[in-house]
Each structure stands twice: as C-alpha cells, then as structure tokens.
C-alpha cells in the first residue's frame, strides 16, 4: 500500500447483525484510535441500521457507506433506496456493482453505469466493484472481463472526477469461499486496472479477506486498501 496516503479498510456488513450488535460494533470501531491514525475506515451496514450507525459515528473519521442504491432519485420503486436518501442519512460513499448484486440481482454493466451516475449526482463517492468469475479466470479472460466492466463504468456521468476515485477488485470465485487470489494474480489485475484509471485512483482488494490474509495483502504496494465482507 502507498506510504503517502492512508489505506482504506471498508467493512461490508451485508445482511448481517441485529440492531444491538450493529450499535456495539459501530461504537467499538468509532472509539478505536487506529481509525484516525493509520487507516481510513468505512462501514457499510444494512439499510435499516444506517441512521443509528450514522448517529454513533457522528462527524468522526469513519466513513458511512450504502451497500447499494437505485439509479433513479425518486419514484415508484418499492423497496429501493436512492442516492439522495443515502446522502440525507449521512452516507458519503456507496458500493456499486458488488459481485453479489451482479450475480443475485442480474445487474449488468449498463445498470452499474447508471448507478455510478446516480451516486455522483447525489454527491456520493461510488466504490466501483469489478471482478471475474471462475470460468473467466480459468479461460484467461479475467483482465478482459474487468476491462469491459471498467470501460462501461467510465462512461458514467461525472466519473471518475477530480476527487476521490475508488475501485474494488473482487474475484468472484473468492467471495465467501475462503479462497484468496494469489499475489501475482492480484498484482497483475491491480496493475491492469490502474492503467485504465487516472493516477489518483485507489484500488482496493476484496475476496475472502480474513485476519490471516489481511496483513500480507496490506503490505502489497499495488493494493490501496481492503473491502472486507462479513
């Protein structure tokens, strides 16, 4: 990781924890001095707990993220959450294109592009997730797949801008499997992603990151942070 900028560590809580557990975890992280000294921390709690977690975090250094957003700002979209709603709750960043959204909800590159535009329009910083599945990895199509995903993302309105640009590489075959991409695989992909983005872009790794793997990953200069799923 870069020695001149703080690395990101983003915790994606997914659809886990109850309200009390979310409060306890948020408070523990908010009170941890390392969140201010060594790293930039972000939390992505489930939507129902955003308001309470935002209250606990206050105006401190820990960023609050949405796990997703709808591409429209308002309308008859039952069960959806818009960018302006997230912003109104104190959210500053939002995950877009997470592999579980792509796989379970059929979100394609065009939908991801629209969501990136919606995030930027709402004043949120999108954390754009890209990655290949096992078949694409085994057929030597990993970087081709990711390039296609990023080229679509780069057509989004206002992204990337001059401000913070965050991309998370998450090999789909490693999500929730306990498998971690090899060092050479990660460096190859991160280097390829960096060629497609402006110089100030930060590239995170997410793929079964655990206490055992976080340390070695954090020492890689091509990795600017970690996206950790619960």
Q: Which of 98, 107, 132, 190 is catalytic?
A: 98
Active site residue 200: no
3-state DSSP assignment of residue 229: strand
> DSSP of 19-50, one letter per residue?
HHHHHHHHHHHHT-THHHHT-EEEEE--GGGH
What is the rounded distance in angstroms from the CA atom of residue 29 to the CA atom of residue 123? 25
Identified catalytic residue from 70, 170, 190, 222 = 170
Here the tokens at position 92 are 């500053």
Contact 126, 94 (CB under 8 A): yes
* 105 a catalytic residue: no
Strand partners, 40: 8
Can you tell me the distance from the alpha carbon of 33 to that of 20, in angstroms, rounded to the nearest whole number?
Answer: 22
Helix (H, G, I), strand (E, B) or coil at 19: helix
The sign one gets for the Cα dihedral 10, 14, 17, 19 is positive
Give the Cα-Cα-Cα angle 136, 138, 142 (nearest 5 degrees): 40
Contact at 8 Å (CB) between 82 and 122?
A: yes
Tell me the Cα Rg of the chain: 17
Tell me the catalytic residues.
98, 170
């Amino acid at each position: 990781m870069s020695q001149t900028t703080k690395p990101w560590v983003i915790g994606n809580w997914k659809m886990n924890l109850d309200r009390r557990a979310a409060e306890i975890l948020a408070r523990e992280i908010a009170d941890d001095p390392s969140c201010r000294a060594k790293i930039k921390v972000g939390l992505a709690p489930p939507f129902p707990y955003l308001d309470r977690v935002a209250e606990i975090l206050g105006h401190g250094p820990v960023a609050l993220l949405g796990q997703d957003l709808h591409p429209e700002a308002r309308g008859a979209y039952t069960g959806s959450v818009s960018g302006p709603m997230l912003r109104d709750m104190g959210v500053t960043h939002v995950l877009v294109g997470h592999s579980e959204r792509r796989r379970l909800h059929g979100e394609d590159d065009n939908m991801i592009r629209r969501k990136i535009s919606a995030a930027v329009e709402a004043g949120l910083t999108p954390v754009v997730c890209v990655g290949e599945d096992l078949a694409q990895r085994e057929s030597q199509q990993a970087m081709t797949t990711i390039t296609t995903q990023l080229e679509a993302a780069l057509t989004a309105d206002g992204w990337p801008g001059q401000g913070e640009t965050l991309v998370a590489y998450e090999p789909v075959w490693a999500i929730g499997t306990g498998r971690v991409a090899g060092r050479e695989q990660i460096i190859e992909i991160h280097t390829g992603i960096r060629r497609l983005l402006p110089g100030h872009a930060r590239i995170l790794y997410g793929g079964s990151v655990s206490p055992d793997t976080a340390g070695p990953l954090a020492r890689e200069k091509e990795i600017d942070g970690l996206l950790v799923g619960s």
